Amino acid sequence: MKQDELKKLVGEKSVEWIKDGMTVGLGTGSTVKFMVDALGRRVKTEGLSITGVTTSKATAKQAEELGIPLKSVDAVDHIDLTIDGADEISADFQGIKGGGAALLFEKIVATNSKKVMWIVDESKMVKHLGAFPLPVEVIPYGSQKVFERFEQKGYNPTFRKSADGNSLLLTDSENYIIDLHLGEILEPERLADELIKEVGVVEHGLFLNMVNTVVVGLADGPKVLD
């Protein structure tokens, strides 16, 4: 099966966990796009009544077009379940997210959720994190200085470019992303502590001890790990 077919498989499978009356965090990315499409179909055909809390402008636009009722994270008293994609998941269920530049809102929504589910194709399952560049969201002011400190530490930073390659990418919060090309992250907790203490860093893409269930797309069907 192609990667996109595996993403569709898990996206469609994951909406089985969504029940009437739930408040659901809606992640960001190409896998989540399939999930939101499937959720939209359930809202339309079954009359499923849910409230969605989105993690990006892109997901909000898609959900609105499908008629999924939305509220902001600050307007709900709880989120029952958040379903999101991931860029890498290690053997001990730690994750890297932010390939789609939505890591800040994704982490806020995940942190405020009772349960978190990640939906991924099998290529995302790794032994150790770090082959995927670790995204770090930084405020534009002083970002060159943060970049230089990362360089001095040997983190091989690159500023993420916009889709047309002509400017720096701006996140939904109008920040920049610096991707760290680390190769392997053997101590994710230590690195997470270090990054969040760096002045100018808004958030990083290490999502540690946050996920309850992972649905992996395999050629012979979705596999649920929890």
Which parts are annotated binding residues? 28-31, 84-87, 97-100, 124
Contact between 28 and ligand 5RP per CB under 6 A: yes
Which two tokens mark 18?
A: 């969504």
Q: Which amino acid is at 68?
A: I
* Binding residues with ligand 5RP: total (CB under 6 A): 17
Contact between 84 and ligand 5RP per CB under 6 A: yes
CB-based contact 95:88 (threshold 8 Å): yes
Annotated binding site for substrate: 28-31, 84-87, 97-100, 124
Q: Please report, for residues 78, 146, 152, 164, the alpha-carbon distance to residue 85 in angstroms, rounded to integers and kept in the order given.
A: 21, 28, 32, 24
Site for ligand 5RP (CB under 6 A): which residue of 36, 50, 68, 102? 102
Site for ligand 5RP (CB under 6 A): which residue of 9, 36, 89, 101? 101
Widest Cα–Cα separation across the chain: 56
Site for ligand 5RP (CB under 6 A): which residue of 25, 52, 85, 157? 85
Contact between 200 and ligand 5RP per CB under 6 A: no
Which two tokens mark 193?
A: 């502590």
Contact between 25 and ligand 5RP per CB under 6 A: no
Known catalytic residues? 106
Site for ligand 5RP (CB under 6 A): which residue of 14, 23, 31, 94? 31
Which two tokens mark 209?
A: 């001890």
Give the orientation angle of helix 30-46 with respect to helix 3-14, to 10 degrees.
40
Residue with smaller CB distance to ligand 5RP, 4 or 151: 4
- The residue assigned the tokens 């190769």 is 183
Contact between 175 and ligand 5RP per CB under 6 A: no
Residue with smaller CB distance to ligand 5RP, 77 or 132: 132
Tell me which H or E stretch contains 196.
Answer: helix 188-197
The string over 8-27, giving b where at least 16 C-beta atoms fall within 10 Å of a residue's C-beta and e elsewhere, is: bbbbbbbbebbeeebbbbbb
Interacting residues toward ligand 5RP by CB under 6 A: 27-31, 84-87, 97-103, 106
